[in-house]
């Protein structure tokens, strides 16, 4: 999430007038700058540094410069894992958008006194740890679980079906966990949406479809873009949900990196994979930002 | 205005949850100290002890009892894999007085000169140990380590779903059981099963032998439904799978839970793991650490640990205190004949990541 922070700073655009910040401004900024340096700049620099290092037999990092980790990273095995992870994250983002937009629109257009309560309902599941909620899904989806019980009892299926430990379960787990990250940014956009604009569209002869596609979507696009990034990026690297609900038979890139730092005893290789992932994120952010500036 | 406040609270909650992983439940717990009772032998050291051990392995009641008796304040930190422990220990992040490595990690730590020798005169209860678990190849003469618990890897079969008799690893990995198998998510373990099915010793992890094992495992892994080292019993209990290759302790819990589960030691032989207690070179309270080792080896204390976590107890005097039911659990206590066929792991150094890479690549094939 921290990766999204720089956007508003850079997005002020040419219209904003410039002047030299004074001492007070620097003092106000100082905590943020220190935080950025300590928890983002330094760790990232260390990650990149380790990615060019070697390791000894116990897994300790030895600082001899090498490109081997990157040469290994471009093996088909890891690329396939990465493509799978990107595909799961893409599916998750699309489904979250399809489900999240109507929900966010409904909440944003609801009477003011209802909005707080509706938003609270979106957030209620977050009051318990996501690990506990993921374990709950395991119970719900298992062969002897509630869903299978209902399906068999109602006669839809004769035999229980396999739901858990499949790609379906992985995407379900990701969607369930990241949906609020989509709803909240879209909600803020919808809340600011001027109703007069939509009325104007209707007055000028637009049908509901056209009003939606040419007025509502463009006006809420900042929220949609922010939501997509907030869902897509953590989904790629998430390993706890994919391991628990996917059963580990469809490893994701986050899981592979995690393994390199533990049982693989190969921190430099894990760091190289992590750095590559970081490069992908930076490129994705840069592309969306450029897109926004063009608009 | 109220809406904005709610939104802010919501976003704050998101920011906290969004970090990806919930905090480890390892919260270092300090147990109250009773200074007055400190024994003279330990007076050179501050009455403190920092234990770095596996989660779900040393009952809190045992630690509390040690604190009350000796007046030593104990702090506990947990880990979930040997490698996690190694990473933290080698990074020098914390100062630990006692660690709990498995046999091959003890060997590696001795080789790297990272353990402190222990003084047998301070641990008289060493006499309680089964001779088969002392003087083992990873630490000849037990100069550096004391066995805590042992156990095997074996096969659990749900006999309601699988009527055929399962005797070996090759019986498990048959096409008809595709999608019905849970195995430990541990590359070294999986490779060792392949090695054993070919009759190769588990520690001969040369490039040549890995090449021989690869075709075997590449047939096995597509049949596996779930990889889980933490709680493989869950998938078996839920009915999602019918056969599992799991830790002995997990197997023992399944046998206690339902009569339909059967425990099988693979005919090819299997891995005998020996989790030990050892004192790192960097320990600040080695005297207290050895007092704790001796305490753990007391028969009544060791029996208490067995009750909570039903692994293979290497303490003969403690085994005499266990109930016949506990001793009859096939997953906790293998027969002498089965035990003779088991092998312990030795450190394989850099080959570890080749093993990991091979298994990962076969998972995604």
The 10 Å Cβ neighbour count of residue B308 is: 14
Contacts of B347 in chain A (CB under 8 A): 57
Contacts of B224 in chain A (CB under 8 A): 249
Report the gap between the CA of A179 and the closest CA in chain B (Å). Answer: 11
**Does residue A268 contact residue A62 with C-beta atoms inside 8 Å?**
no
What was the pLDDT predicted at A34? 95
B356 — contact with chain A (CB < 8 Å)? yes
Q: Which residue has the higher pLDDT, B137 or A11?
A: B137
Q: Does A249 sit within 8 Å of B226, measured CB to CB?
A: yes
B214 — contact with chain A (CB < 8 Å)? no
> ipTM of the predicted structure?
0.76
**Residues B2, B6, B9, B13: what is their CA dihedral angle, to the nearest 10 degrees?**
180
Say how far apart CA A157 and CA A139 lie, in whole Å. Answer: 19
% of chain A with per-residue pLDDT over 90: 50
Q: What is the secondary structure of B3-25 as a DSSP string? A: HHHHHHHHHHHHHHHTTSSPPPT
**Residues B56, B321, B300, B284: what is their CA dihedral angle, to the nearest 10 degrees?**
-50
Contacts of B177 in chain A (CB under 8 A): none
Q: Does A60 sit within 8 Å of B7, measured CB to CB?
A: no
Say how far apart CA A107 and CA A121 lie, in whole Å. Answer: 11
Contacts of B260 in chain A (CB under 8 A): none
The 10 Å Cβ neighbour count of residue B13 is: 15
What was the pLDDT predicted at A8? 47
pLDDT at A156 over 80: yes
Say how far apart CA B334 and CA B154 lie, in whole Å. Answer: 10
What was the pLDDT predicted at A56? 83
**Does residue B264 contact residue B95 with C-beta atoms inside 8 Å?**
no
B93 — contact with chain A (CB < 8 Å)? no
What was the pLDDT predicted at B45? 84
Q: Does B14 sit within 8 Å of A180, measured CB to CB?
A: yes
Q: How far is CA A135 from the centre of its chain?
A: 21
List the beta bridge partners of residue B151: B273
Q: Does A1 sit within 8 Å of B15, measured CB to CB?
A: yes
List the beta bridge partners of residue B343: B271
Q: What is the secondary structure of B193-207 as a DSSP string? A: HHHHHTT--TT---H
Which helix (H) or strand (E) segment holds residue B272: the answer is strand B272-278
Query: Along the 365 residues of chain B, how does pLDDT read in single tens digits?
Result: 344 444 444 444 444 443 433 434 444 444 444 443 444 444 578 899 999 999 888 999 999 999 999 999 999 998 878 888 888 888 876 789 999 999 999 999 999 899 999 999 999 999 999 999 999 999 999 999 999 999 999 999 999 999 999 999 999 999 999 999 999 988 999 999 999 999 999 999 999 999 999 999 999 999 999 998 888 999 999 899 999 999 998 999 999 999 999 999 999 999 999 999 999 999 999 999 999 999 999 999 999 999 988 999 999 999 999 999 999 999 999 999 999 889 999 988 888 878 988 998 898 77
What was the pLDDT predicted at B31? 43
Q: Does A249 sit within 8 Å of B3, measured CB to CB?
A: no
Q: Map residue B56 onto helix, strand or coil.
A: coil
B187 — contact with chain A (CB < 8 Å)? yes
**Does residue B357 contact residue A77 with C-beta atoms inside 8 Å?**
yes
Helices (H), B44-167: 60-70, 82-91, 103-111
A219 — contact with chain B (CB < 8 Å)? no
- Among residues B285, B342, B284, B309, the alpha carbon closest in space to that of B148 is found at B309
What was the pLDDT predicted at A17? 60
Task: Place A179 in a pLDDT band, splitting at 50, 70 and 90.
Answer: very high
Say how far apart CA B253 and CA B275 lie, in whole Å. Answer: 19
Mutate to test the interface with A, among B106, B240, B280, B352 (most CBs of A within 10 A): B240
Backbone angles phi, psi at B313, to 5 degrees: -80, 120
Name the closest residue on chain A to residue B107, using Cα atoms: A58
User: Tens digits of per-residue pLDDT, A122-138?
Assistant: 999 888 888 899 989 99
The 10 Å Cβ neighbour count of residue B238 is: 16
Residues 6+ apart with CB under 8 A from B75: B28, B29, B30, B48, B49, B50, B51
Q: Which of A58, A144, A259 sits opposite B238 (nearest CB)?
A: A144
């Amino acid at each position: 999430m921290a990766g999204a922070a720089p956007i508003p700073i850079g997005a002020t655009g040419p219209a904003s007038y410039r002047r030299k910040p004074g001492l007070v401004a620097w003092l106000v900024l100082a905590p943020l700058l220190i935080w950025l340096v300590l928890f983002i700049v330094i760790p990232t620099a260390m990650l990149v540094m380790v990615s060019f290092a070697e390791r000894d037999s116990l897994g300790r990092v030895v600082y001899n410069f090498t490109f081997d980790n990157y040469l290994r990273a471009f093996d088909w095995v890891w690329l396939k894992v990465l493509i799978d992870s990107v595909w799961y994250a893409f599916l998750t983002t699309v489904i979250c958008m399809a489900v999240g937009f109507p929900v966010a629109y409904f909440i944003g257009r609801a009477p003011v006194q209802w909005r707080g309560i509706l938003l609270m309902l979106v957030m209620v599941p977050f009051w318990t740890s996501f690990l506990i909620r993921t374990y709950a899904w395991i119970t719900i989806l298992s062969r002897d679980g509630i869903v299978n019980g209902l399906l068999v009892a109602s006669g839809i299926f004769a035999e229980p079906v396999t739901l858990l430990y499949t790609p379906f379960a992985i995407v379900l787990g990701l969607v369930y966990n990241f949906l609020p990250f989509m709803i909240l940014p879209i909600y803020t956009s919808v809340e600011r949406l001027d109703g007069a604009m939509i009325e104007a569209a209707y007055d000028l002869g637009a049908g509901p479809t056209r009003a939606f596609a040419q007025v509502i979507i463009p006006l809420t696009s900042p929220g949609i873009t922010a939501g997509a990034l907030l869902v897509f990026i953590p989904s790629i690297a998430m390993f706890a949900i994919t391991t628990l609900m996917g059963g580990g038979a469809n490893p994701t890139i986050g899981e592979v990196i995690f393994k390199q730092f533990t049982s693989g005893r190969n921190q430099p290789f894990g760091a190289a994979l992590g750095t590559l992932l970081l490069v992908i994120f930076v490129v994705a952010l840069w592309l969306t930002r450029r897109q926004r500036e063009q608009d | 205005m109220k809406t904005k406040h709610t939104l802010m609270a919501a976003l704050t909650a998101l920011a906290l949850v969004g970090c990806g992983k919930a905090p480890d439940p390892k919260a270092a717990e300090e147990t109250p100290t009773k200074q007055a009772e400190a024994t003279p032998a330990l007076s050179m050291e501050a009455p403190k002890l920092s234990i770095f051990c596996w989660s779900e392995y040393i009952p809190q009641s045992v630690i509390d009892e040690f604190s009350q008796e000796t007046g030593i304040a104990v702090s506990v930190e947990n880990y979930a894999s040997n490698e996690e422990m190694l990473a933290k220990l080698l990074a020098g992040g914390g100062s630990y007085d006692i660690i709990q490595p498995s046999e091959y990690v003890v060997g590696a730590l001795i080789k790297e000169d990272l353990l402190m020798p222990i003084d047998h005169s301070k641990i008289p209860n060493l006499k309680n140990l089964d001779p088969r678990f002392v003087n083992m190849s990873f630490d000849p003469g037990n100069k550096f380590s004391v066995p805590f618990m042992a156990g095997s890897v074996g096969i659990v079969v749900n006999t309601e779903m699988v009527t055929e008799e399962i005797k070996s690893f090759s019986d498990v990995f048959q096409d008809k059981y595709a999608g019905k198998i849970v195995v430990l998510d541990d590359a070294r373990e999986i490779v060792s099963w392949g090695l054993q099915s070919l009759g190769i010793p588990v520690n001969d992890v040369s490039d040549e032998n890995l090449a021989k094992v690869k075709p075997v495992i590449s047939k096995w892994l597509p049949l596996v439904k779930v990889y889980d080292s933490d709680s493989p019993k869950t998938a078996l209990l839920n009915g999602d799978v019918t056969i599992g290759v799991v830790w002995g302790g997990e197997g023992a819990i399944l046998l206690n839970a339902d009569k339909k589960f059967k425990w099988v030691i693979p005919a090819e032989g299997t891995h005998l793991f020996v989790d030990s207690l050892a004192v790192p070179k960097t320990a600040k309270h080695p005297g207290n650490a050895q007092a704790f080792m001796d305490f753990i080896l007391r028969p009544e204390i060791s029996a208490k640990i067995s009750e909570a976590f039903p692994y293979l107890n290497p303490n003969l005097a403690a085994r005499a205190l266990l109930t016949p039911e506990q001793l009859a659990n096939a997953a906790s206590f293998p027969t002498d004949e089965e035990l003779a066929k088991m092998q312990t792991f030795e450190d394989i150094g850099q080959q570890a990541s080749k093993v990991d890479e091979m298994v990962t690549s076969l998972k995604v094939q």
